[in-house]
Amino acid sequence: MSTVETIKVDEEILLRWPSMADAEELFKLIDTNREHLGRWLPWVDAIQSLDDEKGWIETTAAAKAKDQEWPPLIIYRDSIVGAIGTDRYFDPLHKVCGIGYWLAVDYQGRGIVTWACSAVINHLFGPLGTNRVQLRISPGNERSVAIAQRLGFVFEGVSRQSWLVNGQFLDMAVYSVLASEWRSRGASRA
Ligand SMILES: CC(C)(COP(=O)(O)OP(=O)(O)OC[C@H]1O[C@@H](n2cnc3c(N)ncnc32)[C@H](O)[C@@H]1OP(=O)(O)O)[C@@H](O)C(=O)NCCC(=O)NCCS
């Protein structure tokens, strides 16, 4: 399988790989969204400097080399606005893949992540032959739960105190969609 370089979600949204040239813009975005992101994501605290951000960019290059991730940066109207990742959650043996995502606060409310997920899921159920895509979401994270529901994921149950975020153990609700259930979204975001 050849590496996917970009995924065009629609006329405004593109997913692409980061390069070191993106490090400063990305770090600034995370730094200015620290409170918004840190509430739900365990990795935010670990990004404290430009070098930390460069470290993440290096890990994406490794995932790209293994052909185990899709282009993670979400570009909206030519600006970096967030990311959607699959690498850490990819289990080729069982054809299962998890998705994680984040979006800068100012870009919420436009369907950007819902449609970016939809495009990634189309690819996962396509070339990679994934059978199950899963999301793990803290039940209190209403915006993220709404994404799972909008995309037709099925709620399976709660994995108790399975994430440590800001020194607190959070329950995680598990959602999934199977290849046999997934319908191509068909429509455009607009
Ligand atoms: C979770 C998160 C990505 C959700 O962002 P979001 O903007 O609500 O999600 P989307 O980009 O899919 O946009 C959906 C919103 O756009 C609206 N929207 C507008 N046009 C739309 C369209 N064409 N299609 C779908 N939704 C559309 C929806 O109504 C919804 O807004 P509402 O909830 O106010 O009704 C964001 O809040 C975030 O990054 N949070 C912090 C990190 C985090 O929690 N990550 C997930 C951990 S599990």
Which tens digits make up the pLDDT trace of 22-64? 999 999 999 999 999 999 999 999 999 999 999 999 999 988 8
Q: What is the pTM of this model?
A: 0.94
Ligand 1 midpoint to CA 132 (Å): 22
Structural domains in the chain plus CATH codes? 6-130 (3.40.630.30)
Provide φ and ψ at 40, rounded to 5°: -120, -15
Distances (CA, A) of 54 to 23, 86, 100, 124, 173: 6, 19, 19, 27, 31
Give the number of the atom of ligand 1 that is nearest the alpha carbon of residue 146: 33
CA-nearest residue for atom 25, ligand 1, is 111
The predicted structure's pLDDT at residue 185: 58
Answer yes or no: is the C-beta of 4 below 6 A from any ligand 1 atom.
Answer: no
DSSP label at 176?
E
Share of the chain above pLDDT 90, in %: 78
Residue 84 β-bridge partners: 101
Q: Is the CB of 104 under 6 A from ligand 1?
A: no
Cα separations in angstroms, 86 against 50, 130, 131: 23, 12, 14
